[in-house]
Structure 1
Amino acid sequence: MTQQVILSIQSAVMHGAVGNEAAMPVYQHLKQPAERLDTVRLAAHPGFGTSAISITPPQELQNLLNDYCHLANFQNLGAVQTGYFGLPSQIDPVARFISSSRAMQRNLIYLLDPVLGDGGRLYVDQAISDRMRDYLLPLADILTPNQFELGLLANTPITNETDAISAARSLIKGRLQTVFATGIVTAAGQIADILVCADTQTLVPAEKQSSGVSGSGDVLSAFFLSAVMNGKTTQKAAEIASYSTAPILRRAETRLTMPVLQSVWEGLV
C-alpha cells in the first residue's frame, strides 16, 4: 500500500530551522513522504537581523498548485500543512487548492499552524490574520496555535490552561475537531501543550524555556501530523509530538537556533 504524502506549505530559510527547514527534516527522519511549497524565502529568521525577503507571488502559488494536481503523486496526497504566509493574497490559492483537493480526496487532512505572532505581539500584517480566520480556519481539521495565536483566533485573552481550553472549545466547530495548543502557561506557572477535542482535553507537560525557540512549533506540528497520518490517536500523537520536540529544544543555544538536523543526525529523536 502506498504511503500517503504530506504537502507542507511554509516559509524557507537558507540558514536555521523554521518553516519548511524545520518540518522537512522531521518528515525525512520519520520516513514520512512529504513535499514542500515555499511561501517566502529568506536568508534566515528575521531575528538574525536579516531583512531581504522573497515572497512567492499568489499567482505563482496558484500555478504551482495547479500543476501539482496533475502529477500522478497527487493521488497519494493525504494531508496539507500550512504555516507562515507573506501576503494576505497568498491565502486564496491555498484555500482553493485545499477545497478542490477534497473533491477528489474526501479524507484529506488539513493542519493549520497559524503562524501569526508570539509573546503578545502580532508579527504579520493584520490582514493575514483576518484572512486566515475567514478562509483557512473553516477548512482546518487540526489547529496548532501557540498561546498568543489561540487567543487571537478566539478573540479572548488567555492567562492559564482554563482560558486556553475554553478558547479552543469555542473554535471547535464544523471540520475543526482538534486544537493542539502549545506553550500554554498554566495557573501554577508551568508550561503545557494542551490537546482539546470535541469531548476531551489532555494536558501534556512541556519543559519551560526562558523564551520561545523559533521553529519549535513547526517541528511539533510535523511530529503531530505524521503520527496522526500513521494511525495514532490524537492523544497519542500529542504525546509523541511534545516528547519528541523536547530533546531538540534542550539543545537550542539561542531562541533562534532550533538544531533539528543535528538532533536527527545524532539520533536524539
Structure 2
Amino acid sequence: MNKLERLADTVKILSVQSWVTFGHVGNAAALFPLQRLGAEVLALHTVQFSNHTGYGSWTGQTFTGATVADLIEGVDARGALTGLDAVLSGYLGDETIGDAILAGVARTRVASPGALYCCDPVIGDVGRGVFVRPGIPELLAGRAVPAADILTPNQFELEHLTGAACHGVVDAVGAATRLRASMRAGGPRLVLVTSLSAGIEASEIAMLLVHDGGAVLLRTPRLPVAANGAGDLTAAVMLFHVLREGPGGAVRALERAASSVWGILRATAEADDAELRIVAAQDELVRPGRMFRAEPLPVS
C-alpha cells in the first residue's frame, strides 16, 4: 500500500462535543484517542470551559446552536463533509445545539451517504439522576435515537430512554433490543450499554452490546476510579473500531474498545488521578495490555 492509498483509507470523523482546557471530557476525551488510533478528526466544540462542571465551578462559555450550525456550514463549504465516515456527538448544552447536530448529520449523509451517526445520549447517571437541561431527554428519544446508527447509553440512560428498569442482564438485553428497534433502518443499529451493573458481581462492571448477531456481555474487574469522561472515551474508541472492523465486526470492536478503556482506567487508578490518564497510558489505545473477551447472551 502506497502513501496515497493509506491516506485514502484514513478514518474521518466529525466530533461535535464539549471542550475543556483542563482534564479529559467531551472532545478532550475523544480527540487525542481517535488521532492516536490514526483517525482524521474534525473537532467542533459546543462549549469551551476551563474544566468539567463536576468540579462545582468553572469559567468559559457555551456556544449556541447557531454557532454550531454556522461552523458545520463552513466545513461543508470546504468540501470536508465529503468522505466523512461518521459523526460523533455527546453532551448537548441545549436543544438548539441538538437541532444543529442533527441537521449536520443529515447534511453529512447527503455529502457522504455511507456515513454513520454515533450518538452518546448523555442524560444522567445512577446516583446523580438527570443532569441535562429540560427538553434534552425528549430530543434524544424523539429525534436523535431514530437518526442514530450507534448508541452508547449507560444503564441509567438505557432505562430513561426505554422507560424500563433493568434489574438484571436479561432486563438490560430486552431494553437495549427495544431501543435498537427505534434506530435508523439500514445502518448497523448497535446499542452499547457502556456501564452495566444490574445483575453483575460487585467486583465487576460490564458492557452490553446488542447488534444484528444478537447480544454479548463483556465483563471487566471494577476499578477504584470515578474519573469523568470515561463514557466519552468509550464512545469514541468504539466508533473507531466499528469503522475499522466493518460489517460483522461489532464484537471485535467492543473487545478492542473495552480493553483499551480498561487499561486507561487502570492507569488512572494507579496514579490516583481525578482525570483520565489518556496521554500517559496512550499505548493502551493501540496495544491494550490486557484483552477482554465478550460472551454471547440469549436474546428473547
Q: Is the 8 A contact 1:212 1:255 kept in 2?
A: no
Over the aligned positions, Cα root-mean-square deviation in angstroms equals: 1.9
Counterpart in 2 of 1:59?
A: 66
CA offsets, 1:177-223, max 9 Å, x none? 21011110142423210110134101111221346431111111111
CA distance in structure 2 between the partners assigned to 1:161 and 1:146 by the alignment:
13
Distance 1:268 1:198 in 2: 27
Q: Which has the larger radius of gyration?
A: 2
* Alpha-carbon offset, residue 130 of structure 1: 1.0
1:151 aligns with 2:159: yes
Residues 43 and 50, structure 1, Cα contact 8 Å, conserved in 2? no
- In structure 2, the partner of 1:102 is 109
**How far apart are the structure 2 equivalents of 1:221 and 1:47?**
20
Q: Aligned equivalents of 1:125 and 1:73: distance in 2?
A: 31
Q: Which residue among 49, 66, 78 is the counterpart of 1:71? A: 78
**1:257 aligns to what?**
275
- Find the aligned partners of 2:200 and 2:147 in 1 and give their Cα distance: 35
Q: What's the % identity of the aligned pairs?
A: 29
Deviations 1:127-163 (A, max 9, x none): 1111121221111000001111111111111232212
- 1:59–1:7 Cα change, 3 Å: same
Indicate the SS of the match to 1:251: helix
User: Which runs of no fewer than 5 residues in structure 1 stay unpaired?
Assistant: none
C-alpha displacement at 1:4, in angstroms?
3.5
Partner Cα separation in structure 2 for residue 73 and residue 65 of structure 1:
9
Instruction: Kindly provide the CA deviation profile for residues 26-67 of structure 1, in whole angstroms up to 9, marking residues without a partner as x.
Output: 111111111111111211112223243411111111111111
CA deviation map 1:95-124 (0-9, x unaligned): 111112212322110000112211241111
TM-score (norm 2): 0.84
**Structure 1 length-normalised TM:** 0.93
Secondary structure of the corresponding residue to residue 237 of structure 1: helix
Matches of 2:226 and 2:173, distance apart in 1: 21
Equivalent runs, 1:1-269 vs 2, <5 Å: 1=5, 2=8, 3-120=10-127, 121-173=129-181, 174-175=183-184, 177-189=189-201, 190-210=204-224, 212-232=226-246, 233-253=249-269, 256-264=274-282, 269=288
Is the 2:225–2:268 contact (alpha carbons within 8 Å) kept by the matching residues of 1?
A: no
**Cα distance 1:128–1:54, how it changes in 2: closer, same or farther (>3 A)?**
same
Aligned pairs, number = 269
Runs (4 or more) in structure 1 with deviation over 6 Å come to: 265-268
**Aligned partners of 1:185 and 1:163: how far apart in 2?**
12
- Counterpart of 2:294 in structure 1 is none
Structure 1 equivalent of residue 298 of structure 2: none
Q: Residue type matched to 1:128 in 2?
A: I
Report the Cα distance in structure 2 between the residues aligned to 1:236 and 1:153, rounded to whole angstroms: 26
